[in-house]
């Protein structure tokens, strides 16, 4: 493991479980100082403890502007500034009701957009001034292959992720010359520890991904964490406004 993130001060929004938790652990292994933020504060505290290296947790609801402002202020104060932000949170509970454009309940649309898109805008607005004060920094968002996949279901989720990719490109274009990079990690199907433990992913889904992809195995949270770590490091200073698909080469989403 390299120490390429030594001295980097990074907040991870959506860090209690899954990909965000794995990313906090990976960033700490590479030397970053971390604040783990999540609506599930017990989970974020567990993540911070597991990560070590002085990582600490703060509560945040990314749909609430005041909550986001308070969390980012606490992170910047505790870390002495910010050099990076991984904005990763999504509400994946409503995704099971995200049926199709004719049938989907508009409450599902509103909730999905509130967390996955508007919430990411709020986080962007809160972290950017700190990154600019540090004379530059990196923002890494988590999108999904479904932003571009054109699936016959989950339209609200796909719309939220498509919008998020537009936000990322805007940030890269508007603030790139001031030292900001903004990029997206777009996971394919990723079997998180929690999904594995919950045993709720149907075998047919697992078989589908194993039989149709370009890899012999399913994606893991650590696969996503490794790419987020690279994008948050100085190795990625010349990567800006990009979507990096991390999906084992899959052609399906």
Ligand X SMILES: NC(=O)c1ccc[n+]([C@@H]2O[C@H](COP(=O)([O-])OP(=O)(O)OC[C@H]3O[C@@H](n4cnc5c(N)ncnc54)[C@H](O)[C@@H]3O)[C@@H](O)[C@H]2O)c1
The residues annotated as belonging to the active site are 157
Is 62 among the residues that bind ligand X (CB under 6 A)? yes
| Neighbour tally for 192: CB within 10 Å | 22
Is 90 among the residues that bind ligand X (CB under 6 A)? yes
Binding part of the chain for ligand X, among 2-10, 60-68, 100-108, 206-214 by CB under 6 A, reads 60-68
Is 60 among the residues that bind ligand X (CB under 6 A)? yes
Cβ proximity to ligand X, 134 vs 228, nearer residue: 228
Is 40 among the residues that bind ligand X (CB under 6 A)? yes
Is 190 among the residues that bind ligand X (CB under 6 A)? yes
Of the candidates 41, 46, 50, 92, which one interacts with ligand X according to CB under 6 A? 92
Is 91 among the residues that bind ligand X (CB under 6 A)? yes
Is 189 among the residues that bind ligand X (CB under 6 A)? yes
Is 20 among the residues that bind ligand X (CB under 6 A)? yes
Is 61 among the residues that bind ligand X (CB under 6 A)? yes
Cβ proximity to ligand X, 109 vs 134, nearer residue: 109
**Which positions from 94 through 123 interact with ligand X, judged by CB under 6 A?**
115, 119
3-state SS track over the chain: CCCCCCCCEEEEECCCCHHHHHHHHHHHHCCCEEEEEECCHHHHHHHHHHHCCCCEEEECCCCCHHHHHHHHHHHHHHHCCCCEEEECCCCCCHHHHCCCCCCCCHHHHHHHHHHHHHHHHHHHHHHHHHHHHCCCEEEEEECCCHHHHCCCCCHHHHHHHHHHHHHHHHHHHHHHHHCEEEEEEEECCECCHHHHHHCCCCHHHHHHHHHHCCCCCCECHHHHHHHHHHHHCHHHCCCCCCEEEECCCCCCC
Of the candidates 124, 142, 240, 250, which one interacts with ligand X according to CB under 6 A? 142
Is 18 among the residues that bind ligand X (CB under 6 A)? yes
Query: Under the rule (CB under 6 A), what is the footprint of ligand X?
Result: 14, 16-20, 38-40, 43, 60-63, 88-92, 115, 119, 142, 144, 187, 189-190, 192, 194
């Amino acid at each position: 493991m390299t120490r390429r993130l030594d001295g980097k001060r990074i907040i991870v929004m959506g860090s209690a479980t899954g990909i965000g938790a794995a990313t906090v652990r990976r960033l700490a292994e590479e030397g970053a100082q971390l604040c783990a933020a999540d609506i599930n504060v017990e989970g974020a505290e567990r993540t911070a403890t597991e990560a070590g290296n002085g990582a600490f947790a703060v509560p945040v609801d990314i749909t609430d502007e005041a909550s986001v402002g308070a969390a980012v202020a606490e992170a910047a104060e505790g870390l002495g500034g910010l050099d990076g932000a991984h904005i990763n949170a999504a509400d994946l509970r409503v995704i099971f009701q995200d049926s199709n454009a004719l049938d989907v309940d508009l409450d599902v649309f509103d909730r999905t957009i509130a967390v996955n898109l508007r919430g990411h805008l709020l986080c962007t607005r809160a972290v950017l001034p700190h990154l600019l004060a540090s004379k530059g920094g990196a923002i890494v968002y988590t999108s999904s292959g479904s932003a571009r996949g054109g699936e016959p279901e989950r339209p609200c989720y796909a719309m939220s992720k498509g919008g998020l990719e537009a936000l990322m490109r805007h940030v890269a274009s508007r603030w790139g010359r001031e030292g900001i990079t903004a990029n997206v990690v777009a996971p394919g199907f990723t079997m998180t520890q929690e999904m594995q433990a919950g045993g709720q992913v149907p075998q047919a889904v697992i078989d589908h991904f194993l039989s149709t992809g370009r890899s012999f195995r399913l994606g893991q949270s650590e696969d996503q964490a490794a790419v987020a770590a690279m994008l948050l490091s100085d190795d990625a200073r010349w990567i800006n406004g990009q979507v990096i698909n991390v999906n084992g080469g899959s052609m399906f989403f």
